[in-house]
Amino acid sequence: MITAKLVESVWAQHVATVERYNQPGKFTAFIGYEFTSLVKGNNLHRIVVFRDGVEKFGKTMPFTALDSKDPEDLWKWFANYEQTTGGQVLGIPHNGNLSNGMMFALNDFKGGPLTADYARRRQYWEPLTEIVQAKGESESHPFLSPNDEFANFGKAGWDVGNLDLSATKTNDMFASEYAREALKRGLMLEAKLGINPFKFGMIGAGDIHTGLSTSEENNHLGETFILEPSAERAMRTEKRGSITRFGWQSLAAGLAAVWAKENTREAIFDAMRRREVYATTGTRLQVRLFGGWDFSERDLKGNWVKQGYARGVPMGGDLRPATSKAPSFIISALKDATGANLDRIQIIKGWVDASGQTHERIFNVAWSSPETRKVSKDGRLTAVGDTVDLKTATYSNSIGAVELRTVWRDPEFKPGVRAFYYARVLEIPTPRWPAYDAARYQFALPDGVKAESQERAYTSPIWYSPKVAP
């Protein structure tokens, strides 16, 4: 029988374990948990992360979905925690793709309209959103971004229903589930409410339930125990009604990358709160993004990181009102030291026009082999190529680039228009974990199984407002 005393005992052991392994400067372990709000099978989960150790955290017990499924009640608990302990805490929504239209809805949990107070609290308590993990990718969707040739990543099996497959998905739900659309909605709501409720940075994570978490495709240990390595796991099924998900549709896991001053709870938490973070699909490539008003190619010849901070803002920041014709951005990407070469860097821009309509556009700004690969009139870039051998689950770094770096200026900038900009970096095609399984266990993958993909990273946005954003 589960009793309050038992829960307190298990939680105390968990906190003690976290404290034992936290080694400032070497390995950072946060006290945290998952707020598992599930509304009729619709996912409203949040990761809860504390900045503090036991000296402030004390004997605090988690606020869970058994107390309330309403995220606003969780935020109230956050406020009380900070007021009573002097500590700090934040929440990170995840798997908006499985919320069936609830995660970034234009109404609150009770169905009422969003208010300025709601927007202020959500922006403060939830400065980040997780956009990729084992259960798919939540950046954007082909239905929302039909001109984005890379919007279909991590969608198979995850855009057909909610978390527990108790309800099917309809197209009208997508706009309230995916981060890019939420970022655009945030601009629209800022114009109306004076503050942006969906002003978040982006991270990746694992959501692995076995304690055997890895993010490498060639070392995928499975999301749950039934998906641990075997010759059968790729075709294992989860069925409910007319909906079926297959094992191969799980992703190997994502990662959160944080630009912090040091490897400590305090520094990493502070970087997360200021949104100086980016998401990857499991690759460990390095990405930096700075926005300003006077960056040029000359900056790349010197200490461009120092200049980025001195004369601009990093990912997660706000550009001040226009001081020149258009903002410029320093973007740099370095390949994973043991992974695939880079294909391209893209800047994804979203904005809201004078009539309140939202828009987006994708710019290819740097790519490998520029002498042979060109951008067409419609903005498409010649494909990088494909060296994957599915029979052996191998690829070659004979294509792509080790590093890509550029300074890009928005050619369509309008000083009176709210906008955001973030970078997406793509690697060359590589095998997915089902291909490694097939090669390892010597079996043929059935037709329809996605056996390769282009791994990627997504930075947090930089926002522009005609007025200083709150």
Q: What is the DSSP string of 159-212?
A: SSB-TTSSSB--GGGGGGT-HHHHHHHHHHHHHHHSS-TT--EEEE----SSS-
- In this predicted model, which residue has the larger pLDDT, 469 or 78? 78
Is pLDDT above 90 for 241?
A: no
Give the pTM.
0.95
Alpha-carbon torsion 164, 168, 171, 172, what sign?
A: negative
For the chain, the structural domain boundaries read 4-255, 282-464
- The span from the CA of 312 to the CA of 293, in Å, is 7
Label the pairing between strands 419-427 and 342-352. antiparallel
- The span from the CA of 11 to the CA of 138, in Å, is 31
Give tens-digit pLDDT for 407-440: 999 999 999 999 999 999 999 999 999 999 999 9
| DSSP assignment string, 124-153 | HH--EEEEEETTEE-S--TTT-TT-TTTTT
Is pLDDT above 90 for 403?
A: yes
Q: Which helix (H) or strand (E) holds 191?
A: helix 179-193
8 A C-beta contact, residue 331 and residue 408: yes
Average pLDDT over residues 205-212: 88
> Residue 468: its pLDDT value, please?
53
Is pLDDT above 70 for 470?
A: no
